[in-house]
């Protein structure tokens, strides 16, 4: 895997484009760009300790539902810290900072993208600190 640390590189990798589109969806609620990058087999997994979200999620509509759901309780800015990628996978470690259910929130997460034919086939998100800590 190559390590891309140069933030000024204008020749963005698919991993960088995927993360920036994911970031826009989370921060602004706009999923359009992200969904132009996914393929017909698109699926994802997120670490939400809530029934209905614990298993693999499939498709663009479910991604839209995820973003709507998360934006109801989570207002964060995402800051990428590390990016590693090759032609099949991309990993971004990032910081999320803002509010979760109107309480201060800060966490480090990682997202692993799987690529197929220059598109996002899937992603899986991992949290640094379990979200149970923030539940009351």
| C-alpha separations of 75 from 27, 29, 46 in Å | 7, 10, 17
Q: Report the pLDDT averaged over residues 80-109.
A: 95
Answer CATH for 8-134 from 3.10.450.50, 3.30.2350.10, 3.40.50.720, 3.30.530.20: 3.10.450.50
In this structure, of 3-12, 97-106, 117-126, the range with the lowest mean pLDDT score is 3-12
Report the pLDDT value the prediction gives residue 64, as an integer from 0 to 100: 98
pTM, to two decimals: 0.86
83: Cβ–Cβ under 8 A, 6 or more apart, which residues?
A: 3, 4, 5, 13, 15, 16, 19, 90, 91, 92, 93
Quickly tell me which residue has 């692993």 as its tokens.
112
Residue (of 53, 50, 38, 120) closest to 87 by Cα position: 120
Per-residue pLDDT reduced to its tens digit, 23-66: 999 999 999 999 999 999 999 999 988 899 999 999 999 999 99
Q: Where are the domains of the chain?
A: 8-134
């Amino acid at each position: 895997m190559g390590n891309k640390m140069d933030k000024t590189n204008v020749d963005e990798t698919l991993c960088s484009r995927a993360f920036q589109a994911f970031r826009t969806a989370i921060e602004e609620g706009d999923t359009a760009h992200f969904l132009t990058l996914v393929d017909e087999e698109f699926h994802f997994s997120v670490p939400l300790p809530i029934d209905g979200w614990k298993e693999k999620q499939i498709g663009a509509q479910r991604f839209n539902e995820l973003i709507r759901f998360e934006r109801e309780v989570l207002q964060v800015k995402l800051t990428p810290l590390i990016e590693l990628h090759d032609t099949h996978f991309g990993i971004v470690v990032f910081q999320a900072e803002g509010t979760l259910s109107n309480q201060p929130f800060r966490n480090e997460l990682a997202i692993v993208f799987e690529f197929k034919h220059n598109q996002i086939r899937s992603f899986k998100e991992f949290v640094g600190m379990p979200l149970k800590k923030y539940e009351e």
